[in-house]
């Protein structure tokens, strides 16, 4: 499903994803990667950010921001990875 697509995963699994599936373009610098209809994220908190990204896509940014506020969760202002990656 991901062959020829851009994707990310949890920082501890980036190298495993690269080695196991060389046809995937692994993007280590991004928290969430969207390629067409496929969205991947960098872990548990990134999964929440990914869900807010889906809400934003289909319902607009204000609804996504209100959803984050309701959850008492910070709206993701950046798509940068939150941890420093060392190969």
Residue 76 lies in a domain: no
Closest CA to 47 of 18, 19, 82: 82
pLDDT at 80: 86
pTM here? 0.83
pLDDT at 84: 78
Reported as half-sphere exposure (CB side, CA atoms, 13 A), residue 44 has a value of 0
- For the chain, what is the mean pLDDT? 94
pLDDT classification of 64: cutoffs 50, 70, 90: very high
Total structural domains within the chain: 1
Identify any residues that bridge with 40 across adjacent strands, giving them in sequence order.
33
What are the strands, taking DSSP E only, across the chain? 6-7, 25-26, 32-35, 38-41
Residue 83 within any structural domain of the chain: no
Q: Is the pLDDT of residue 74 over 80?
A: yes
Domain span at residue 14 reads 6-70
């Amino acid at each position: 499903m991901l062959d020829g697509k851009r994707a990310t995963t949890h920082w501890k699994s980036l190298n495993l994803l690269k080695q196991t599936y060389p046809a995937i373009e692994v993007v280590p610098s991004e928290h969430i990667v969207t390629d067409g209809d496929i969205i991947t994220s960098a872990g548990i908190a990134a999964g929440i950010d990914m869900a807010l990204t889906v809400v934003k896509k289909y319902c607009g940014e204000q609804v996504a921001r209100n959803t984050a506020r309701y959850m008492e969760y910070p709206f993701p202002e950046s798509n940068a990875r939150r941890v420093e990656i060392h190969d």
